[in-house]
Amino acid sequence: MQAESAEAIVRALSVALMNGTVYFPEHRRVAEASREAAAALDRYFESRESFVLGIVKGLLIVDGEPLYDLSVRAHRLLVVIGERGGFGARFARGITADEIMAFIKTLLQARTRSAEEFNALLARQEIAHAVLQVKPLREAPREGAAASDRAQAAIAPTPGDFEVETGESYLEVYPWALDAIHNFITNFKHDHKASLTQMTEIALRLTDVLSKDPNAFVAMASVKDYDSYTFNHSVNVCIYAMAIAECLTTDKKELVAVAQAGLLHDVGKVLIPDEVLFKPGALSDAEWQVMRRHPELGAKILMEARGVADIAISVAFGHHLRNDQRGYPALGAQITVDPLTQLVNVIDVYEALTAKRPYKKPFTPERAAEVLLRGAGSEFNPLCVDLFFRCLGIFPPGTPVRLADGSEGVVAMANPSDAAHPVVHVTREAGGGALEQPAIVDTAERLPDGGYRLEIAGSVAALQAQAQAGAPA
Ligand SMILES: [Fe+2]
């Protein structure tokens, strides 16, 4: 419960900051997120006096526990706090939504790199319940030795940390990719010029990480977040597309082109009005007409920019052209769509289904796989669906799963010849206790009688949904 509300607090603060950057600090979206942060803090303060968001080497620490996934999602927030000289932030009981909004505004607008000066700025505005951490977490007396020890231990690489040989972990690469898209959109909104320098750099970096460890690379896409889902979606589509392309080619130039195509496939949405793009309910017919223009708008933006691979333009234009030609833009005639565009059509739907959105729960991997299999031959090119499962499996790397014996772990590697039986990194025994020695289990291994030795019972998400519903998910 505590962890949940900590997540809600950080998430809401992060959204407030993001919207303050994309729009402006007084925007209603910042106010909304500030109210959400205040409400989440109120829940947290039912049992605590203050909430400390600590930052140790880019990793978010709350109550002495490292929060890996949230470190990625709240990357911008952590960066901006760091830029103001803070080692985190502390919020005290009694804080209001207005104070949070003013805190965010000060974070965005202050020119100082000193946390002391920043706190003085807050005091001048009579913001009494929020300060930046002036000292590193380990030196902060209130957290105590145990908490800081845990924090220090947490930053040591662990097998589950998706560390790659380059020394870059997903904690670093993924936020850079989010930043690249974020900056691209912000700059484009500002001067309507598409600058791809950072985007190309990130495509190169992603290619490097992919070549070192393809499975850890795919696991990055398990970062699902509905607060910045537009950005997350583009990065995750890019990751899946690159991982699948890597099954077919090792040509770096081609992989960079695929990365660009994935990152930029929805770039046309930058020209869709917010009222339509972020409308919480169903779109009217007229609004759909507007939304359906994003592929051609995206292709136009990319054609006018320099250094964009042709394939990225094709993907931006054609990723909603279904296999049965019933998608959009309506071209009115049979056309040949290139294979990558058809593949992104599949990935786009899969990622959207499995993403967290404000208005829906994410599909489990099993349910999303069913949708792809059902649509193969009509909505989707069947060869692309087949390729998707060969490269990523029914349970893509990074998916938490439970095995038939009750033990749990995370999928480490897909099995190209058996999509439902990947290799699993098992970390918990039946009943939930942590294994002293994590084990690698190949769920495709057969017994002499031909049966599987130890199968996957299901994804943890699907099994939890089943348990809650009391019926199969
Ligand atoms: Fe799209």
Task: Answer whether residue 339 shows pLDDT above 60.
Answer: yes
Between the CA of 398 and the centroid of ligand 1 the distance, in Å, is 25
Rounded to the nearest whole angstrom, what is the distance from the C-alpha of residue 64 to the centroid of ligand 1? 40
CATH code for residues 166-391: 1.10.3210.10
Written as six digits, the tokens of 45 are: 């303060």
- Provide the mean pLDDT of the chain: 83
Has residue 35 got a pLDDT over 70? yes
Q: What percent of the chain has pLDDT over 90?
A: 43
Percent of the chain with pLDDT over 70: 87
**Ligand 1 center to residue 241 CA distance, Å?**
14
317: CA distance to ligand 1 center in Å? 9
Predicted confidence (pLDDT) per residue in 427-439, tens digit: 888 887 777 777 8
Q: Rounded to the nearest whole angstrom, what is the distance from the C-alpha of residue 295 to the centroid of ligand 1?
A: 6
Q: How confident is the model over 305-327, as a mean pLDDT?
A: 90
Edge-to-edge strand order for the sheet containing 408-413?
434-442, 423-428, 408-413, 400-403, 456-459
Q: 184: CA distance to ligand 1 center in Å?
A: 17
pLDDT band of 147, cuts 50, 70, 90: very low
Dist. CA 348 → ligand 1 center (Å):
7
Q: Above 60 in pLDDT, residue 327?
A: yes
Calculate how far, in angstroms, residue 319's C-alpha sits from the geometric centre of ligand 1: 6
For ligand 1, the distance from its centroid to the CA atom of residue 266, given in whole angstroms, is: 5
User: How many whole angstroms from 119 Cα to the centroid of ligand 1?
Assistant: 43
Q: Given pLDDT bands bounded at 50, 70 and 90, which one contains residue 159?
A: very low
Dist. CA 267 → ligand 1 center (Å): 8
Regarding predicted confidence, which is higher, 99 or 144?
A: 99
Q: Cα angle at 190 between 186 and 192, to 5 degrees?
A: 100
Cα of 356 vs centre of ligand 1, distance in Å, is 17
Residues 342-384 have pLDDT tens digits of 999 999 999 999 987 767 788 999 999 999 999 999 999 999 9
Residue 265 CA to ligand 1 centre (angstroms):
6
Q: What one-letter code names the amino acid at 79?
A: V
Q: What value does the mean pLDDT take over residues 41-59?
A: 86
Q: What is the pLDDT of residues 440-462, one digit of tens each?
A: 899 999 999 989 999 999 999 89
C-alpha torsion sign, points 382, 387, 390, 396: negative
Centre of ligand 1 from the C-alpha of residue 231, in Å: 12
Q: Helices 229-248 and 170-191 meet at what angle, rounded to 10?
A: 120
Q: What is the mean pLDDT of residues 224-242?
A: 78
The rounded Å distance from CA 287 to ligand 1 centre is: 15
Q: Which element (helix H / strand E) includes 59?
A: strand 59-62
User: Confidence class of residue 325 from pLDDT cuts 50, 70 and 90?
Assistant: confident
Distance in Å, CA 446 to ligand 1 centroid: 42
User: Rounded to whole angstroms, how far apart are CA atoms 328 and 220?
Assistant: 30
Tell how far the Cα of 296 is from the centroid of ligand 1, in angstroms.
Answer: 10
- pLDDT given for residue 363 in this prediction: 93
* Cα 270 to ligand 1 centroid, rounded to whole Å: 11
At residue 166, the pLDDT reads: 37
* Pairing, β 434-442 against β 423-428: antiparallel
Q: Please check the confidence at residue 227 and state whether its pLDDT lies above 60.
A: no
For residue 107, what pLDDT band results from cuts at 50, 70 and 90? very high
Q: Which residues pair with 421 in a beta bridge?
A: none
Residue 275: Cβ within 10 Å count: 9
Quote the ligand 1 centre to 191 CA distance (angstroms).
23
Å from CA of 203 to ligand 1 middle:
19
What is the model's pLDDT at position 228? 60
Distance 347 CA to ligand 1 centre (A): 11
Pairing of strands 88-92, 65-66: unpaired
> Measured in angstroms, how far is the CA atom of residue 306 from the centroid of ligand 1?
22
**d(CA 216, ligand 1 centre) in Å:** 26
Q: If we measure between CA atoms, which residue out of 130, 184, 136, 133 comes closest to residue 13?
A: 130
Summarised one tens digit per residue, pLDDT across range 258-284 is 999 999 999 998 888 888 887 877 889
In the reported structure, the alpha carbon of residue 23 is separated from the centroid of ligand 1 by a whole-number distance in angstroms of: 22
Residues 6+ apart with CB under 8 A from 464: none
Instruction: State the DSSP code for 336.
Output: -
**C-alpha distances in angstroms, 153 versus 30, 66, 193, 322?**
35, 9, 45, 49
Long-range contacts of 233-237 (CB under 8 A, 24+ apart): 233/266, 233/351, 233/352, 233/355, 234/181, 234/262, 234/263, 234/264, 234/265, 234/266, 235/174, 235/177, 235/178, 235/181, 235/263, 236/351, 236/355, 237/262, 237/265, 237/266, 237/344, 237/347, 237/348, 237/351
- Between CA 1 and CA 369 the distance in angstroms is 31
What mean pLDDT is predicted for residues 252-256? 89
Which residues is 292 bridged to in the sheet? none
Q: Are 115 and 84 in contact (CB under 8 A)?
A: yes
Tell me the average pLDDT across 39-60: 87
Q: How far is the CA of 349 from the centre of ligand 1 (A)?
A: 9
Q: Which residues touch 228 (CB under 8 Å, ≥6 apart)?
A: 14, 15, 18, 73, 178, 182
**Cα 326 to middle of ligand 1, angstroms:** 15
Task: Tell me the pLDDT tens digit for each residue of 16-34.
Answer: 998 888 778 888 889 999 9
- What spacing in Å lies between the alpha carbon of 453 and ligand 1's midpoint? 42
Least confident piece of the model among 91-100, 158-167, 354-363, 430-439: 158-167
Ligand 1 mean position, distance from CA 130 (Å): 40
User: Ligand 1 centroid vs 373 CA: distance in angstroms?
Assistant: 21
**pLDDT tens digits along 76-90:** 888 899 989 998 999
Find the length of the chain: 473
Residue-range domain boundaries for the chain: 2-158, 166-391, 400-469
C-alpha distance from residue 159 to each of 317, 404, 426, 432 (Å): 40, 23, 11, 18
Cα 355 to averaged position of ligand 1 atoms, centre (Å): 14
Q: What is the structure's pLDDT at 371?
A: 97
Q: Report the separation in Å between the CA atom of 34 and the middle of ligand 1, taken as the mean of its atom positions.
A: 29
Identity of the amino acid at 278: F
* 3-class SS of residue 400: strand
